[in-house]
Amino acid sequence: MELSELGLDDALAQQASCAAGLRLARVTAVDRGRYVVRNEQGEVPAELTGRFLHAAASAMDMPCVGDWVCVQYHDAGSHASIHDLVPRRSFLRRKSPGKNIDFQMIAANIDVAFIVQSCHFDFNVRRLERYLVMVNEGQIEPVLLLTKTDLVSVEELERMLSAIRAAGITARIVPLSNVTGEGVAQVQKIMAPGKTYCLLGSSGVGKTTLINQLLGQGELATGAVSHTGEGRHTTTRRHLILLANGALLIDMPGMRELGIMNADEGLDDSFTDIATLAAQCRFADCSHTGEPGCAIRKAIENGELNAEHYQGYLKLKAESAFNEMSYLDKRKKDKAFGKMVKSVLKGRRK
């Protein structure tokens, strides 16, 4: 196997210069601080060096699935230590779940993100918008997969598609049924050898079943789906899978929380219709509340802009700004604490 088959293209290769004695490998699995890396010879377990841990300033500096790393192999290549992280071309991250104000890295170096929603119980345009902000912020191309189309009528499916387009979402949409096989061939056609893809969505929307379809065999266990349609996802860790056609796919557990933080670019890319209208306002600093000549208010009144879509944008923008302020405040406190510790240690040495 060549590294190009693991997703290493010319752009990444130019940045992937490892020191003498180190070799390039890709992180294929992460589970509670334990890593698995893969190179031309295969997969082995790996751990971070003490120097790497000491140099990491935040969670964003830690390796995640899809990262390229410089490793040193030990004991005839049976395990490895990770020394350096190659700069990422693209990434998926979110605010850490719960009250902790920090970033959580999910995956890296992804070409296309399949955002999966079930037509049965799970369909939610506002959640789609959240996923799109996350994907666009990380410079990844989004494709929407609407699964379980066999459980809804043609008219219901058309209403869902119309709701997506009414929200200004222009990404490609593939209706999909793991029962009838509808759409699976389209997904396979999108996936090219040497390119990396990921599946994003809630538990029980059919991600693992789709992977089994793409693999052509039932290698991944699926959980029972409850009467609510939510299901129990059996994926317990993020891992990268090499498909028969040469494409690479990252599977990951369903995410209950999709916190947005420091995502101005992702918001602009996901709500281009609102950004375009805002540029047409009479005043450059228009707040879109009561100023004369406001293009956004006019578009809402004329029915050209969906009011719920605009409110969703405002909510995500406010959430991103609030979390960013909290994050910067946390970083300042961390730096102040670090300085205090160094000062105390310095005093003890005297």
Q: By the 8 A CB rule, do 3 and 24 touch? A: yes
Structural domain span for residue 11: 3-85
| Assigned domain for 349 exists | no
Residues 22 and 154 in one domain: no
**% of the chain at pLDDT higher than 70:** 83
Which pLDDT band holds residue 70 (cuts at 50, 70, 90)? very high
| Assigned domain for 345 exists | no
**Distances, alpha carbon 30 to alpha carbons 25, 239, 254, in Å:** 14, 7, 15
Residues 247 and 275 in one domain: no
CA 120/CA 230 separation, integer angstroms: 9
pLDDT for the residue 236: 56
Residues 164 and 133 in one domain: yes
Mean pLDDT of the chain: 84
Residues 115 and 247 in one domain: yes
What total number of domains does the chain contain?
Answer: 3
Return the CATH number at 312.
1.10.40.50
- Range among 27-31, 93-97, 287-291 rated most confident: 27-31
Which pLDDT band holds residue 62 (cuts at 50, 70, 90)? very high
Residues 192 and 127 in one domain: yes
pLDDT for the residue 224: 37
Phi, psi of 48 (to 5 degrees): -80, 145
The phi-psi region of residue 183 (left if phi > 0; otherwise alpha if psi is between -120 and 50; otherwise beta) is: left
| Assigned domain for 103 exists | no
Residues 317 and 247 in one domain: no
CB atoms within 10 A of CB 140: 25
pLDDT for the residue 51: 93
Nearest to 216 by CA among 252, 241, 190: 241
Strands (E), 39-179: 43-48, 68-74, 79-85, 91-95, 103-108, 112-118, 141-147, 172-175
Return the CATH number at 49.
2.40.50.140
pLDDT for the residue 228: 35
Residues 243 and 114 in one domain: yes
Residues 74 and 144 in one domain: no
Q: By the 8 A CB rule, do 65 and 17 touch? A: no
Which pLDDT band holds residue 347 (cuts at 50, 70, 90)? low
pTM (predicted TM-score): 0.79
Helix (H) / strand (E) element for 54: namely: helix 50-55
